[in-house]
Structure 1
Amino acid sequence: MATLPVEVKTTLSESSDIVFETGKYEVCTTTVRTSHSSKPPTRLFIVAPLTEGTYDVLLFCHGFMLANTWYTNLLRHIASHGYIVVAPKFYGCIPISIPAEVKKAAQVTKWLSTGLPLVLPDKVNLDISNLALSGHSRGGKTAFALALGELDKKSHKKKKPLVRDNPNLPKFKALIGIDPVGGSAPSCRPPPRILEYIPRCFNMSVPIAVIGTGYGNQSLCICPPFAPDGVNHSEFFNESKPPACYFLTKDYGHCDMLDDGIANCLSFISKSGKGSKDLMRKSVGGIVVAFLRTYLGGDQKDLDAIVNDPSVAPIILDPVIYV
């Protein structure tokens, strides 16, 4: 693991400062039910710009026992910078298995090209060729599993190729794990068991960013940690092939990027940071935007500025690593 070399260090640009603030686009939120004429495979929460134009798409997977709408402020921040965010609802009160989540996420991915245009604001279009994937907590694992092509149960019985991309889905151009969690312990990892504890072993060519939390691996009273060591952000980054970025939000907890009301409630069972949740959301959202600009838009100056000078973020990022 290494940081960017000193000779390519950049100074903070005006745009890299702006990624941590609300973007220039006014956005709207829409809930699309399965009864809609576009026939989505599950209920969707969509955040999109209102300004006429064509925008890249981010598919976002929510965490275990969390709702897709509980990330509204974070997703609005990302969309305000010129992205369409689609967040599927995976289950109601009763959780489904992770393979079932992966399958449902894959169905949504296939739906995007034909169904999403039918539910977007007038004169707002999508660029399906610029598609990114993200997820929080267990949704982070779901996102990684989808990018790895973990849809065929027989694939575990076959030797995996060096680099694998699922030919049955549109190609993801970026993958972002927000405090991803692979299970409750290394010995308790529900399928698909994508963590192999071999450095740089993930069989995919997608650029990866992993955003971890400093308190996610800590218990709170009798409540176990939500992101235990051995199955959390550190291992996901360790197994990611370059190019890969790692950002640790040192003084924040596993649920601190959720909307305020939910984050405050969850602070009774999951260790939370004492700092502003709004600054946490701006930091996570800004990192996501900088990474998308790099690998979907070809403009790396914002990501370089954050990597080389993490103090530009509203909260402490330590460490920051780019390989």
Structure 2
Amino acid sequence: MFIKKRSKLAFFLLGITSIFFSSLPVKSAEKLFLSYGPLKFSVEVKSLEIFAKDGTVNDDLGQYLGLIPPDKRDEFREGLTKKVPLNPVLVSRFFKSDMGEDILIRLGKGITLEGGENGGIALRGAIVQSAFDPDGLTLLNILKKYPTNLQIQGELVKGAVEEGDKIISATENLVKEMRTWTAEEASNNAPVDYAKLSDIRKTGKYQVKKEVWQLTDASRNRKFYVDVYIPQGVSGDKTSVIVFSHGLSSRPEDFDTPLNHLASYGYVIAAPQHIGSDTIYLKEMFEGYHKNIFDQDEFINRPKDISFVIDELERRNPTEFQGKLDLKNVGMAGHSFGGYTALAIAGATIDFDYLQKTCERLYGGLDVGILLQCRALELPRENYSFRDPRVTAIIAANPVNRYIFGQTGISKIQIPVLLASGSNDPAAPPVFEQGMPFTWLNTPDKYWMLVEGQAHVNFNKLDGGIKQALDSTVNLALPSQDLISSYVKGVSVAFFEVHLKNNPNFRNYLQSSYGQYLSENQEYKLDFITNASSDKVKTAIGQLEK
């Protein structure tokens, strides 16, 4: 159930390439050719146009429709003229970026010019022209704009579909397994009546003051702001600190709710802007100031931003915080690209050889997370190390990390780690981006939470244009953001209380039985496992990847 929705969302997030994958066997200009081994047949684009208009089936189209199940034909017809309301300028700019071109070239291996030449660049022209056309961005319009006859390489398309099905099937199985492992671990937990314990999903006892600091790292000629959440009236000699890293094309204030929540429990929170991969950079890219969605040097600059912020906290500690900040035991959290940042700070190192092999895979581009990680190949091949020993526990939510770090890089982490996933996440599929890395972690203090139905982003934060496009292309039934937020609030407080403050009173919250308690009477469950299930995860994922 979860994955059918996830699959549609994944294709949307690959941009309007979804048009091709949601109706894969039907593209052309005047004529579309479909080849599979020695077989080859054609369909006139005009026949598709007539069929879309009134349902009339010409002879050439009839042989093709015979391959489509009867209950799917209406869906196919509707898909020909369904509009995707995206800004044509943004479409054009995206497909001129390195990631956009990479998607096109990968698509172009299966969607070729007649004769077999890669059709990616021609595809870009057709997509952009269709987006600017009054009839809008539709599959049929793209086919009409394609500059020459188009050929579908059946074997390659079949392989791509099988790769997508593999991800879908693996994730469906993972959700079932995670529920089982959660239940098994919970059965071994000592009984806890959570209804009688403090509800740590609720706001803590401290009022929070928010400040915005403007920082300059002269060594990198880098200016950025930091959202700082300061709990008021915290008693004791030490105040714990957490640094947060936002995701790609995001910003610190997008995470105001969970950061405020942590601060209300007595943590000073510092969330820096990453200027080469934030919302502003994306906006400037669409305005023509940058070629790409993010600067490839962000793989280096993001971890350095975090260390610089901790340096700044050390500088201000004696005067602004009366020396109370505990900067020898700093926590860190990050989302998506920020998850990469957190893992890098924790000690994970880039494995260029493993990444290179992944990026050369024929169907690797179906995973947008892989495309992001592949841009690290533009970096000089050096032995980068971003480990900051002041950071002693991390949460990585929806991290893109498997292929850039590999087992060699991930296994170097020795501090407590909580990985957080969403079963509907198209950008960082949980089986591959969190499941296998979970087994590679050598730290005994490792945890994995899976929010069933979560889809990488907070849809309440999407701008109106993206929401409109989503509504028009996919039918999403997702858990409410309030439910997701309640899961995150409870687990994150428990994790940092145990692993930053060494507070044993919160250990009961950091186990599978708490996940079950939070999930009671909920359609979308919180699955939660620890190191105790690591071998089971490794065995299960090994079978799924065969």
**TM interval, short-chain normalised:** 0.7 to 0.9
8 Å contact from structure 2 (residues 303, 386) kept in 1: no
Deviation track 1:42-79 (CA, whole Å, cap 9, x = no partner) reads 31011121224342111111000101111001111111
Give the stretch that moved more between structures: 275-284 or 138-147. 275-284
Task: State how far apart, in whole Å, the 1-side matches of 2:417 and 2:465 are.
Answer: 31
TM superposition shift of 1:116: 5.5
The residue type paired with residue 242 of structure 2 is: L
Deviation track 1:210-269 (CA, whole Å, cap 9, x = no partner) reads 1111111xxxxxxxx22235652223323222210011001222113x7x3448876655
Structure 1 residue ranges without an equivalent (≥5): 157-163, 217-224
8 Å contact from structure 1 (residues 140, 178) kept in 2: yes
Among candidates 518, 524, 527, match of residue 319 of structure 1: 527
Q: Aligned to 2:333, what secondary structure does the other structure show?
A: strand
8 Å contact from structure 1 (residues 135, 178) kept in 2: yes
Match of 2:227 in 1: 45
Alignment length, in residue pairs? 290
* 1:64 partnered with 2:64: no
The residue type paired with residue 313 of structure 2 is: L
Match of 1:89 in 2: 273
Residues 141 and 153 of structure 1, relative CA distance in 2, 3 Å threshold: same
8 Å contact from structure 1 (residues 215, 273) kept in 2: no
TM superposition shift of 1:201: 4.9
Match of 1:280 in 2: 484
Query: Residues 101-140 of structure 1: matches in 2 within 5 Å?
Result: 101-115=302-316, 125-140=324-339
8 Å contact from structure 1 (residues 227, 254) kept in 2: yes
Q: Aligned to 1:47, what secondary structure does the other structure show?
A: strand
Give the stretch that moved more between structures: 69-78 or 107-116. 107-116
Match of 2:199 in 1: 18
Deviation track 1:261-296 (CA, whole Å, cap 9, x = no partner) reads 448876655996533212211211221110011111
Superposition TM-score, scaled by structure 1 size? 0.76
Deviation track 1:133-185 (CA, whole Å, cap 9, x = no partner) reads 110011101110121165996436xxxxxxx994xx34322111111113xxx
Give the stretch that moved more between structures: 7-16 or 89-98. 7-16
Among candidates 406, 411, 414, match of residue 202 of structure 1: 411
Task: State how far apart, in whole Å, the 1-side matches of 2:239 and 2:463 are.
Answer: 30
Residues 278 and 211 of structure 1, relative CA distance in 2, 3 Å threshold: same
Match of 2:190 in 1: 9
Q: Aligned to 1:155, what secondary structure does the other structure show?
A: coil
8 Å contact from structure 1 (residues 49, 80) kept in 2: yes
* 1:252 partnered with 2:470: no
Match of 2:301 in 1: 100
Match of 2:150 in 1: none
Match of 1:228 in 2: 429
TM superposition shift of 1:35: 6.6
Among candidates 194, 210, 216, match of residue 29 of structure 1: 210
Question: Identity percentage over the alignment?
Answer: 20
Task: State how far apart, in whole Å, the 2-side matches of 1:106 and 1:149 are.
Answer: 15
Match of 2:9 in 1: none
Match of 1:176 in 2: 395
Task: State how far apart, in whole Å, the 1-side matches of 2:272 and 2:262 are.
Answer: 16
Give the alignment's Cα RMSD to 1 decimal. 3.5
8 Å contact from structure 1 (residues 25, 51) kept in 2: yes
The residue type paired with residue 346 of structure 2 is: A
Task: State how far apart, in whole Å, the 1-side matches of 2:216 and 2:339 are.
Answer: 28
Residues 228 and 264 of structure 1, relative CA distance in 2, 3 Å threshold: farther
Residues 213 and 177 of structure 1, relative CA distance in 2, 3 Å threshold: same
Among candidates 429, 438, 441, match of residue 237 of structure 1: 438
Residues 41 and 150 of structure 1, relative CA distance in 2, 3 Å threshold: farther
Task: State how far apart, in whole Å, the 1-side matches of 2:517 and 2:465 are.
Answer: 30
TM superposition shift of 1:127: 1.5
8 Å contact from structure 1 (residues 62, 137) kept in 2: yes
8 Å contact from structure 1 (residues 55, 83) kept in 2: yes
Give the stretch that moved more between structures: 144-153 or 16-25. 144-153
Structure with higher helix content: 2
Q: Aligned to 1:56, what secondary structure does the other structure show?
A: strand
8 Å contact from structure 2 (residues 248, 336) kept in 1: yes
The residue type paired with residue 451 of structure 2 is: T
Match of 1:294 in 2: 498
Match of 2:239 in 1: 55
8 Å contact from structure 1 (residues 213, 248) kept in 2: yes
Deviation track 1:108-142 (CA, whole Å, cap 9, x = no partner) reads 2322211356666xx79422123111100111011
8 Å contact from structure 2 (residues 194, 517) kept in 1: no
Give the stretch that moved more between structures: 2-11 or 298-307. 2-11
The residue type paired with residue 209 of structure 2 is: C
Deviation track 1:75-129 (CA, whole Å, cap 9, x = no partner) reads 1111111111111101141533312212222222322211356666xx7942212
Structure 2 residue ranges without an equivalent (≥5): 1-177, 283-293, 351-379, 532-546
Match of 2:343 in 1: 144
| Higher relative contact order (Cα pairs below 8 Å, separated by 6+ residues) | 1
Residues 12 and 298 of structure 1, relative CA distance in 2, 3 Å threshold: farther
Task: State how far apart, in whole Å, the 2-side matches of 1:67 and 1:214 are.
Answer: 24
Task: State how far apart, in whole Å, the 2-side matches of 1:235 and 1:110 are.
Answer: 33
Residues 214 and 312 of structure 1, relative CA distance in 2, 3 Å threshold: same
